[in-house]
Structures are given as C-alpha cells and as structure tokens.
Chains A and B, each alone.
Chain A
C-alpha cells in the first residue's frame, strides 16, 4: 500500500516537474523569439508571406463561422429579449457579445485549429527532415529566419481576423433580426451605436485578440520546434497545440475579462 502510494506520488511529482520544465523552455523560446525578431521586421516580406499563410488562408473558415455565430446569436437573443419586450436591443446584444467575447475567443480557437496546427506540423516536419539543422549549418538561425516571421504573422493576423469575425457576425445577426424576424433596422443600428463603447468594448476586444495571437502562435511554434523528429512526435505535437491553445485562450479570457470589468 505504502509502496503504491510512493509510486503514485513519484509519478505525479515527475509530471509536475516535467510541466514546469516545459513551461520554462517555452518561456525561454518566447524570449529568444522576441530578441531575434529584428530580422523578420527588417525583412518584412518574410512576415508578409506568413501573414498570407496564417491570416489570409484562415479567412474563409473565420468568416463563415462568424456569419453562423452571428445568426445564431440573433435567433437566441430575440427569443429571450422578446419575453421582456425589448427585442429592439437585439443589435446591442449581438454586437457586445461578438466584440467583447465571441469575436476574440472563437477566432483564437479557430486560428489554433486551422493555422496553429499547420504551423506546428510544418516546423515539426522541417525538424524531422533536417531542414532546421541544414539552416543552422548554413549559419542561419532558424529562430530568426523561420520562427520569428511566423510569430509576428500570427500576432498581426489575429486582431484583424477577430475584427472581421465581429463585423461579419454583426451582419449575420442583422440578417436574422431585420429581414427574417422583422426588427426595425433603425432601432437595430442606433441602439448598437449608442451602447457599444469604443474604449470599453472594442479596444478591450482588440487587446484580448492581441494576447490570444501571441499565445496561440507561440504555443504552435514551440510545439513544432520541440516535437520529437518522428511521425508520431509531430502528430502528438499538433494535438498538443490545439489542446494547450484552447485551454490557454479560455483561461486568459477569464483573467483579462475580470481585469477589464474590474472585479
């Protein structure tokens, strides 16, 4: 009994130490990426190329999802608000839900699934096929040449994608509320304009999506860079990217929201 307990405790201790060690490695990797970012900003065409792969190619999934999320919000909001006789406030509900929460959070989750996995698999395979080693032997630092441009591409793309998500989501809510459910379009837009604050709502949403951009991209890059150079290693790293990014986004969202609301 005592032996089993010892083995169990040892296992837990080992896993905790392993997690702390990986967190430390990821932090060091992040700092190293920041320090070596000069080249990717100086040779900005490298970053622009990655913005195309991570940002532009994610547009379809982000915009289609946004449209449906906005439409569902319109339906659900109308269903609840009409019970209190305030169905004209549907525009405010849709806009605030999207700008404050759903825009940044859902965009980050979709980004982790679409672009994050692609980044992890690409870097992991570059490592497995010795492309990163070859770069090092050519006296080219892979962090500066491969990692940093992808990092900045993710950081730049995420707030833009979140803004587009919110915009298309509002349009989806409008499509359901005005033509379908018969809400007055003047009330829809004017209430939204009157109740959505630029500083409190929009800027806070942008701050959130910026933080999510940093988090999701660095997790994807680290998992790829740290993946064992085997097919199984890359596949596990890709899974970890989605799991860790999703958990980090939801946890950070709670922390940031509590600060922004001032609890």
Chain B
C-alpha cells in the first residue's frame, strides 16, 4: 500500500487561458495533517477542487488512493467522493435544513440506516463539535464559528478517509479559531484520516499541522515541517511567515513609474 493517500504529480492547470499552476508536485501521507499555504489568488482552493475531481488538470495528474482522478468515470468519482469530506470556506450549510438535518444529509443520501440510528450518529457528530444543543437551529441562527463547526460535523458524518478544509479560519474570532484548530487535529487523529488544510493563517496552522507546502506564482516555492519553515531564510517564506508588507511579493500592483504617472507623462 502506498504511504501517500493523495499525490499531485507535475500538475498544471489553466483557467480562462491563464496558467494558474505550473508543474506542482505534492504528497499527502496517510494519517497526516498537511497545509497548503499561499497568498490570496494563488490557486489553493483550485487544488482542492482538482483533488475532488470538480476540475480537470491541463497537464499532470492527481492520484487518490492510487487512482488518477481525471481518468475516473462520473460514477467512479462519486464513489471516490464518498470517502472524502470537504469543509467549505463559509460552511456551505443547506439554508433550508436545520442543523440536525444538515448533518443527517449525507447519511440519508448514502446509507439505508434507520432514522433511530441516524439520530444517534448525528448527535454523536454534533457532540464532537460541541453543538449537540444547537440541533434544532437553522443555519441563519448560527454565528460564523458555529456554522463552521456544524459544517465540520457534516463533513465527517460518514467518517471520510480524506478531509479537506478550505480556509477554515477565515473570519473567525480567536476562540472559534482555537476550537476549529483543536477539532481538525483531534478529528483527524480519531478517524485515522488524512487532512489537507488550505489556509493563509500562519500562526494557527503552524501550531497543529505536520507538513506545509507554500504555493506562489503557480509553483511550490517551499515545503517542510513548521519548524523548518519558521527557521527558513528564503525571502518568500520569511515575508509570509512574518507577515511583511513588502518583499518578493510586492506591495504595489504592477504600475508605470510613479513620477511619470503623476506628471501625466510630461518631462520636467
């Protein structure tokens, strides 16, 4: 059995004829929590969609459990997705269903379990994220952090082998962020799953992940354990980890010479 549950090999992906990824290689070992980090618009979420088979690579391949994702038929991709869970950036809870029904949704769709067992499982999952008491609320009645936790309970409803997190800390207060950090690590270890976390929150991510990939300008610019990257002297990594405004990623968007721009092209 391959040690890597997910592999990305020499992957390129173009969107609207713009090359977003240029020959990316990544490994996601079984049982580990791996982060993909990078600035906004660097194509991190697109990588999750490529792993989930929602997009097809322009070149290269994504392998999940040894199978090349884009070569699978629609039915095979759907079978593969039953072993996956994905937490979307803002939860993507079904707004017409209650918290309870949202968590029960994947169970009702994919199993023939009787309602009494579904109830026990839903309460088990909601208890794991601390929201058993919120089962009757509607998504509109939840705070951002609570919605994210309900979505997490729904994501792990069928005990997936791969859990993908798309910006799980975006817009959360420090307490909710701490809760989510603990949940990602503990759920991964309890389920024996492999987790892929797409984020740009350095401090939180480095506190619980096993390995980190840094993506910039369509390529992996650095990788390693959080300790390695904290100590890294690479300009991009240093700028990103320490949150510096200017550096290899410039503060200014590409523009003509400032002086010439202000003088409207007149030579003085």
Contacts and interface: CB of A to CB of B under 8 A. Distances in A.
Contacts of B89: 130
Given A137-B52, A139-B109, 4 more contacts: A129-B92, A130-B89, A137-B54, A137-B84
A247 interface: no
Contacts of A133: 54, 88, 92
Contact of A137 (B81, B105, B110): B81
Nearest to B54: A136
What are the 9 A-B residue pairs with the smallest beta carbon separation, nearest first? A134-B92, A139-B81, A130-B92, A139-B78, A137-B86, A139-B82, A130-B88, A140-B109, A138-B106
A128 to B, nearest CB: 10
A136 B106 CA distance: 11
A133 B234 CA distance: 36
Contacts of B106: 138, 140
Contacts of B86: 134, 137
Contacts of A136: 54, 81
A138 B108 CA distance: 12
A76 interface: no
A136 B78 CA distance: 8
Interface residues of B, number: 20
Contacts of B82: 139
Contacts of B109: 138-140, 145
B16 interface: no
B197 to A, nearest CB: 16
B81 A138 contact: yes
B48 to A, nearest CB: 9
Interface in B25-52: 52
B95 A131 contact: yes
Contacts of A131: 92-95
Contacts of B84: 137
17 contacts: A126-B95, A129-B92, A130-B90, A131-B92, A131-B94, A133-B88, A134-B88, A136-B54, A136-B81, A137-B84, A137-B85, A137-B86, A138-B105, A138-B106, A138-B109, A139-B110, A145-B109
B79 interface: yes
A138 B156 CA distance: 11
Interface centre among B84, B92, B105, B106 (most CB of A within 10 A): B92
A46 to B, nearest CB: 11
A141 interface: yes
Interface of A: 126, 129-131, 133-134, 136-141, 145
Interface string B86-105: 10111011110000000001
Interface centre among B90, B95, B105, B109 (most CB of A within 10 A): B109
Nearest to B84: A137
A135 to B, nearest CB: 8
Nearest to A145: B109
Contacts of B105: 138, 140
A53 to B, nearest CB: 9
A40 to B, nearest CB: 13
Contacts of B78: 139, 141
A131 to B, nearest CB: 5
A131 B105 CA distance: 12
Contacts of B90: 129-130
B81 A129 contact: no
Contacts of B93: 131
B64 to A, nearest CB: 13
A140 B94 CA distance: 13
Contacts of B95: 126, 129, 131
B265 to A, nearest CB: 28
Nearest to A130: B92
B108 to A, nearest CB: 10
Contacts of B88: 130, 133-134
Contacts of A138: 81, 105-106, 109-110
A18 B76 CA distance: 33
Interface string B57-92: 000000000000000000000110110111011101
A231 to B, nearest CB: 15
B51 to A, nearest CB: 10
Nearest to B77: A139
B153 to A, nearest CB: 13
Nearest to A140: B109
Contacts of A139: 78-79, 81-82, 109-110
Contacts of B94: 131, 134
